[in-house]
Amino acid sequence: MICEFDMGVSGFREAFGNNLSGSIPREIGYLNHLISLDLYNNQLSGVIPRTFGNLKSLIFMRLNSNKLKGTIPDKVIKLIQLGNLRIMNVSDNLLAGSVHRHGFATTTIIQDAKA
Protein backbone atom coordinates (compact mmCIF):
# COMPACT_ATOMS: atom_id res chain seq x y z
CA MET A 1 0.00 0.00 0.00
CA ILE A 2 1.34 3.41 -0.90
CA CYS A 3 0.73 6.23 1.52
CA GLU A 4 -1.39 8.94 -0.13
CA PHE A 5 -3.08 11.86 1.58
CA ASP A 6 -5.80 14.23 0.44
CA MET A 7 -3.93 17.54 0.35
CA GLY A 8 -6.97 19.81 0.66
CA VAL A 9 -6.87 22.98 2.75
CA SER A 10 -7.21 22.24 6.46
CA GLY A 11 -5.32 22.93 9.65
CA PHE A 12 -5.54 19.31 10.81
CA ARG A 13 -4.40 16.00 9.30
CA GLU A 14 -5.36 12.83 11.14
CA ALA A 15 -4.62 9.37 9.80
CA PHE A 16 -3.73 7.44 12.92
CA GLY A 17 -4.29 3.72 13.36
CA ASN A 18 -5.12 3.13 9.69
CA ASN A 19 -2.34 0.62 8.93
CA LEU A 20 -0.87 3.04 6.35
CA SER A 21 2.45 1.97 4.89
CA GLY A 22 5.12 3.54 2.73
CA SER A 23 6.95 6.79 3.21
CA ILE A 24 5.43 10.05 4.41
CA PRO A 25 4.86 12.31 1.38
CA ARG A 26 7.22 15.28 1.42
CA GLU A 27 4.37 17.39 0.03
CA ILE A 28 2.79 17.49 3.50
CA GLY A 29 5.60 19.93 4.32
CA TYR A 30 4.01 22.46 1.96
CA LEU A 31 0.68 22.65 3.83
CA ASN A 32 1.39 26.11 5.23
CA HIS A 33 -1.66 26.27 7.51
CA LEU A 34 -1.19 22.84 9.08
CA ILE A 35 -1.54 23.05 12.88
CA SER A 36 -1.78 19.36 13.82
CA LEU A 37 -0.33 16.27 12.13
CA ASP A 38 -1.36 12.94 13.67
CA LEU A 39 0.04 9.87 11.89
CA TYR A 40 0.76 7.61 14.84
CA ASN A 41 0.21 3.84 14.98
CA ASN A 42 0.64 3.01 11.31
CA GLN A 43 3.34 1.18 9.35
CA LEU A 44 4.99 4.29 7.88
CA SER A 45 8.65 3.84 6.95
CA GLY A 46 11.49 5.94 5.59
CA VAL A 47 12.57 9.25 7.08
CA ILE A 48 10.76 12.27 8.48
CA PRO A 49 10.67 14.61 5.46
CA ARG A 50 12.92 17.68 5.70
CA THR A 51 10.05 19.68 4.26
CA PHE A 52 8.32 19.37 7.66
CA GLY A 53 10.63 22.21 8.68
CA ASN A 54 8.48 24.48 6.48
CA LEU A 55 5.44 23.92 8.72
CA LYS A 56 5.68 27.19 10.66
CA SER A 57 2.08 26.89 11.95
CA LEU A 58 2.53 23.32 13.22
CA ILE A 59 1.95 23.03 16.97
CA PHE A 60 1.30 19.28 17.40
CA MET A 61 2.97 16.35 15.59
CA ARG A 62 2.52 12.71 16.51
CA LEU A 63 4.49 10.20 14.42
CA ASN A 64 5.03 7.55 17.09
CA SER A 65 4.52 3.80 16.64
CA ASN A 66 5.66 3.58 13.02
CA LYS A 67 8.85 2.32 11.36
CA LEU A 68 10.53 5.66 10.71
CA LYS A 69 14.33 5.75 10.57
CA GLY A 70 17.11 8.31 10.36
CA THR A 71 17.16 11.43 12.51
CA ILE A 72 14.81 14.31 13.18
CA PRO A 73 15.59 16.90 10.48
CA ASP A 74 17.44 20.03 11.63
CA LYS A 75 14.66 22.25 10.25
CA VAL A 76 12.14 20.46 12.49
CA ILE A 77 14.45 20.92 15.48
CA LYS A 78 14.50 24.64 14.60
CA LEU A 79 10.67 24.76 14.82
CA ILE A 80 10.97 23.35 18.34
CA GLN A 81 13.68 25.82 19.30
CA LEU A 82 11.58 28.75 18.06
CA GLY A 83 8.64 27.55 20.15
CA ASN A 84 6.37 26.88 17.17
CA LEU A 85 6.15 23.10 17.53
CA ARG A 86 4.94 22.48 21.10
CA ILE A 87 4.25 18.73 21.17
CA MET A 88 6.12 16.12 19.15
CA ASN A 89 5.98 12.38 19.75
CA VAL A 90 8.33 10.21 17.69
CA SER A 91 8.66 7.31 20.15
CA ASP A 92 8.50 3.66 19.10
CA ASN A 93 10.26 4.14 15.76
CA LEU A 94 13.73 3.25 14.49
CA LEU A 95 15.10 6.80 14.79
CA ALA A 96 18.72 7.53 15.69
CA GLY A 97 20.27 10.42 17.57
CA SER A 98 18.86 12.51 20.36
CA VAL A 99 17.23 15.87 20.93
CA HIS A 100 18.83 18.08 23.56
CA ARG A 101 16.47 20.38 25.45
CA HIS A 102 19.06 23.13 26.06
CA GLY A 103 17.95 26.38 24.47
CA PHE A 104 14.45 25.18 23.61
CA ALA A 105 11.22 26.95 24.37
CA THR A 106 8.74 25.04 26.51
CA THR A 107 8.09 21.97 24.40
CA THR A 108 7.13 18.37 25.06
CA ILE A 109 9.30 15.99 23.06
CA ILE A 110 8.79 12.27 23.40
CA GLN A 111 11.49 10.24 21.71
CA ASP A 112 11.31 6.95 23.58
CA ALA A 113 8.66 6.49 26.22
CA LYS A 114 10.47 3.38 27.48
CA ALA A 115 13.73 5.21 28.26
What local confidence, expressed as pLDDT, does residue 108 receive? Answer: 55
Note whether 20 and 39 are within 8 A (CB). yes
pLDDT, averaged in runs of 10, over the chain (115 residues): 45 70 95 92 97 95 96 92 88 84 55 55
> pTM, whole model, 2 decimals?
0.78
What local confidence, expressed as pLDDT, does residue 72 receive? Answer: 93
- All structural domains of the chain, each given as residue ranges with its CATH number in brackets, are 12-110 (3.80.10.10)
Instruction: Give CA separation, 111 vs 4, 9, 51, 72, 104, in Å.
Output: 25, 29, 20, 10, 15
Q: What is the CA radius of gyration of the chain?
A: 13
Note whether 23 and 5 are within 8 A (CB). no
Q: How far apart are CA 7 and CA 42, in angstroms?
A: 19
